[in-house]
Every structure is written in C-alpha cells, then in structure tokens.
C-alpha cells in the first residue's frame, strides 16, 4: 500500500525558515514526480512545487519562487521542501502528493503537516 | 483568486444528480486533457476521483463521471449519497511553466 508521511511543520516567525520532509513507501519512489500542495485553513488547494523522479527538473508557483526549494533523496525515498523567508500568508497545511508516471494528476496524498507563520 | 473557477457550493437530495463546473482558459483546461477532480472530507487529505477528464481510478464508483467542453470541465455525481457530501476541487495541467492549477473548490451539500 502506498503511503506518504509529512513531517517538519510547526510555528515559525515571519522571515524564518522551515524544512518539510515527506517519507514515501509502497511504490518505486524514483519513478514518480512528486509535488507539494498547500491548503490555507478554510480555503482551497494551491500547488506549490514539483520535482521530477530523477530530481533533475523542478517547478515552482510564482508565489514561492526564490524562497522555497524542492529536493528529493531517492536513496531514502524522501521528498523535501526547504522554505525560507516565510510570510504570514504561507500559513497552511502542506501536503506531499505523488504524480502518476503518465499524466499529470496526484493519486496518493499524505495527511499533511501544518505550517504556521506568526510572531 | 484561484486560476480555475468553480461554484462555491452546490446541493442535491439523495438519489439526485449534481454537476460541478470548472472554468479555465485556453492555456489550461482548454489546451490539455489533463483535468482531474479531488474529493476532500473535513480534516482529510484530498482523494483522486477523476483523471484525464473522464477516467475513474479503481475503487471510485461509476456514479462519478467527468467531461469537458472547451475551457470548462465538469464533474457529475449521480445517485447522490450522504457520503458524497464533501469539498470537490478541479485541477488542470497548465504547461511546463505554470505546471498545474487548482479550482477554488465546491462544497457539496446532500440535503
């Protein structure tokens, strides 16, 4: 059974940094692109960033470009999101999501980790 | 403001059908057959219900169906059940620069 488990969320001050992790199991991690998707409390979903299976290609939403960095360690089946210069409007639940090999949709999601940016 | 436009809420009685629309542009919904739909119950992670406009993952009831016309995709749920009450989000591929965009979500109420 496929499983994604996020960790690393918490309370951080504006301007601070946080690193999220997503541990994957139950599938061939390196064969799949992965994404981070966030959800502001009570609001909708927003795609944040994606990385190819090999890690060679990365993509970012304009709202996080230059502040967030996505990476992966295929030897440890783990996805990361380094978040710098955090702002109050980055407060959200962050989900990691697995993309299918052919197509662009997310067939597995983690349970999410809450990031709160506040002084 | 979300990139894709969905109605904020829809409702229906048990057994009835409802359709949720998702309007994008020629740069996303209208240009690619990579529209997906996700169901989210309160406090839970999203669940894939439809992909590639019309395809259902295994385990998703055939009461859920998807379609697309021009820049608008639609999710239809027939034979409404209480368990269908949830938020529904559409999503579309939007090219290698924008990647993917989500709709703002639609709250489905089963009366």
* Contact call for residues B107 and B8 (beta carbons, < 8 A): yes
Query: Nearest residue on chain B to A103, judged by CA atoms?
Result: B34
Of A44, A95, A109, the CB nearest to B104: A44
Cβ within 8 Å, pair A100-B51: yes
Lowest mean pLDDT among A46-50, A90-94, A100-104, B13-17: A100-104
Would an 8 Å CB–CB cutoff place A58 in contact with chain B? Answer: no
Q: Residue B20 is inside which H or E element, if any?
A: strand B18-23
Please tell me the distance in Å from B63's CA to the nearest CA on chain A. Answer: 19
Whether the Cβ atoms of residue B103 and residue B37 lie closer than 8 Å to each other: no
Mean of pLDDT over chain A: 95
- Which pLDDT score, from 0 to 100, does residue B11 have? 96
Chain segment A21-41, per-residue pLDDT in tens: 999 999 999 999 999 999 997
pLDDT of residue B2: 62
- Check whether A104 has a pLDDT greater than 90: no
Closest Cβ–Cβ partner in A37, A44, A105 for B2: A44
For range B13-39, the mean pLDDT = 96
Predicted pLDDT of residue A103: 76
Number of H helices, E strands in chain A: 0, 11
Q: How far apart are the first and last CA of chain A?
A: 40
pLDDT band at B68 (very low <50, low <70, confident <90, very high): very high
């Amino acid at each position: 059974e496929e499983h994604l488990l996020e960790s690393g969320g918490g309370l951080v001050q504006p301007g601070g940094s946080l690193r999220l992790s997503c541990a994957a199991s139950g599938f061939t991690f390196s064969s799949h692109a992965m994404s981070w998707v966030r959800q502001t409390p009570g609001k909708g979903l927003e795609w944040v960033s994606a990385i190819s299976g090999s890690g060679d290609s990365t993509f970012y939403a304009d709202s996080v470009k230059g502040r967030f960095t996505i990476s992966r360690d295929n030897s440890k089946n783990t996805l990361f999101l380094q978040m710098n210069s955090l702002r109050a409007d980055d407060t959200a639940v962050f989900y990691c999501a697995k993309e299918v090999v052919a197509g662009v949709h997310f067939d597995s999601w983690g349970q999410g980790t809450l990031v709160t940016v506040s002084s | 403001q979300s990139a894709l436009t969905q109605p904020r809420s829809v409702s229906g009685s048990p057994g009835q059908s409802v359709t949720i629309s998702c309007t994008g542009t020629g740069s996303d919904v209208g240009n690619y057959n990579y529209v997906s739909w996700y169901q989210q119950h309160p406090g839970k992670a999203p669940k894939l219900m439809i992909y590639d406009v019309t395809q259902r993952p295994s385990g998703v009831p055939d009461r859920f169906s998807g379609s697309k016309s021009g820049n608008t995709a639609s999710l239809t749920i027939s034979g409404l059940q209480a368990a269908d009450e949830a938020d529904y989000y559409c999503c579309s591929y939007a090219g290698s620069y924008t990647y993917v965009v989500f709709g703002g979500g639609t709250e489905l109420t089963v009366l």
